[in-house]
Amino acid sequence: MKDIPVAVVGSGMSGGAVAAELARSGVPVIVLEAGPDSGRSHVAAKPESAVLADPGADADFAPFFAPAPGPHYDRRCGLRRRVGGRSLYWRGICLPIEPYALTDWPAAVRQRLGEPGGTGLYGQVWEELERWTGRALLTPLDDRESALLDTVRSRGYGDATVTPRSVRVLGDDPRGEFSWEAYSPVGGVPAASVRDRWPVEDLVPAPDGTVEVRAAGGAESVRARAVVLCAGTVHNARLLARAGHRAGVAVPGTYAIVDHLVRGWVAAVPGEGPVDASVLAVRDAAARSNVMVEITGTEGTGLLDVWAMGEQLPSPASQFGFDEEGRPHCTVGHSVNDREVLGRQRELLRALADALGVAGGADLAAAEDWPDFDTAVSRARRSPGRAAPYGCRLGSLDHESCSLPLGGPVVDDTGRVRGLGPLYVAGPSVFPRAGAANPSLTTLALSRYVAENVLREL
């Protein structure tokens, strides 16, 4: 059995960031990743791999819940089981969690996060992302985004900014196709530290204060002085529940699962562009929602896509657990709070349709039917210039979080699991509340926080 100071389970957004931070501090680390090393470029960086963004086309896609519970967390919601995880698929949107949601986080974590532009962890990550992209994240990506920002501001949304994205436009490939990439922390992890096709199954705390990490099938194991679980919101809980049962430590029977509440509308507009233009038009604390105005170009036509993303609070209406074989299953629906957010989003979406001069705003306020995005796009193409509404099922945003909240019954406010040896958890799974912001800026910052705490205790 190999001895190692720190083992990180999972190599996605959180695992990559934790491992990169530990490696920067000179601590030997090993990253155990269930999936293969299918290359470390972002899927959009090569025209031939862009199709992998569709889970149905991606051999590395693995659903969270099988059979799918439907309608939420359906069979298209899951992990990308490969080195880099979903950090090789994301769109790069970087927003801090709003103060109204952070009030429910432990004070020590809130203070360490600080804010973008400050000296805390949000500030450090923001600076690193600006170094990587080679531009300030609040400057437009291109002329089209700049024009969209001017339009939105001139229509009564004077506080609008570009949507901060850690994205680099890579330009034309020889076939004339555009490509882009979003930042991935896995680039900062020494290649020799990563073991691929190493699905962790058991974590066994030893009396000497170490943890034995065993691969599925019992073929291999390593012994570590600290283990950081970065296997995603569902699988972190699965590994912990298994370790708890094995060690005789009480673990919860069910776990919260939270995604974002999204409704929007699309309208066909002239003009296709190489890369989506995205403007953050509204940040509404009362509606616990942000609204993005985007122009995307697909199949030869431009598409104006205006969407509100709201906070889902952890609640008994949205939970998962495990069957006797340890397979995850979930019961997910909208709570009263969720319905209130969705109701307020109607007004925000209607106001933007009216302000942007797109027909159909009044229908949005009364709409009963919020079909999926593809249906809305077909409707929009049949009636150019008219808003066609859509709604997203829970799970489809890939923002699942809040199963093992910091400062909660299972994980303390340093990220350490209570009563199970030197086991830590990182990633969206430890958010106490998700706010309306996309999770990854916070995931990257929190991964540094957990890494700091691991280093302190080693």
Ligand X SMILES: Cc1cc2nc3c(=O)[nH]c(=O)nc-3n(C[C@H](O)[C@H](O)[C@H](O)COP(=O)(O)OP(=O)(O)OC[C@H]3O[C@@H](n4cnc5c(N)ncnc54)[C@H](O)[C@@H]3O)c2cc1C
Enumerate binding residues for ligand X (CB under 6 A).
Answer: 9-15, 32-35, 53, 79, 81, 85-87, 89-93, 199-200, 230-232, 235, 398-399, 427-428, 438-440, 443
Retrieve residue 378's tokens. 């077909």
Integer Cα distance of 377 and 389 in angstroms: 9
Q: What is the DSSP string of 139-153?
A: S-SSHHHHHHHHHHH
Nearer to ligand X, 88 or 149 (CB): 88
- To which residue do tokens 């919101």 refer? 233
Nearer to ligand X, 125 or 268 (CB): 125
Query: Closest residue (Cβ) to ligand X?
Result: 12
Nearer to ligand X, 225 or 260 (CB): 260
Q: How far is the CB of 336 from ligand X (least distance, A)?
A: 26
Nearer to ligand X, 240 or 351 (CB): 240
Q: Is 171 exposed, middle or buried (0-12, 13-18, 19+ CB in 10 A)?
A: exposed
Integer Cα distance of 8 and 455 in angstroms: 13
Of 77, 451, 121, 438, give the one whose Cα is nearest residue 290: 438
Nearer to ligand X, 10 or 389 (CB): 10
Q: How far is the CB of 286 from ligand X (least distance, A)?
A: 23
Integer Cα distance of 315 and 57 in angstroms: 33
Q: How far is the CB of 89 from ligand X (least distance, A)?
A: 4
Integer Cα distance of 221 and 229 in angstroms: 16
Integer Cα distance of 346 and 74 in angstroms: 25
Encode 369-392: b = buried (16+ Cβ within 10 Å), e = exposed. Answer: ebeebeebbebbbeeeebbbbbbb
Q: How far is the CB of 363 from ligand X (least distance, A)?
A: 29
Residues 6 or more apart whose CB falls under 8 angstroms from that of 44 comprise: 50, 53, 179, 180, 181, 182
Q: How far is the CB of 182 from ligand X (least distance, A)?
A: 7
Q: How far is the CB of 426 from ligand X (least distance, A)?
A: 7
Nearer to ligand X, 364 or 436 (CB): 436
Nearer to ligand X, 222 or 353 (CB): 222
Q: Which residues pair with 331 in a beta bridge?
A: 319
Q: Cα 103 vs. chain centroid, distance in angstroms?
A: 21
Q: How far is the CB of 55 from ligand X (least distance, A)?
A: 8
Terminal C-alpha separation, the chain: 20
Nearer to ligand X, 338 or 398 (CB): 398
Nearer to ligand X, 92 or 314 (CB): 92
Give, in order, the Cα–Cα distances in Å from 7 to each of 203, 226, 264, 312.
Answer: 11, 6, 41, 32
- The residue type at 71: P
Q: How far is the CB of 30 from ligand X (least distance, A)?
A: 11
Q: How far is the CB of 359 from ligand X (least distance, A)?
A: 29
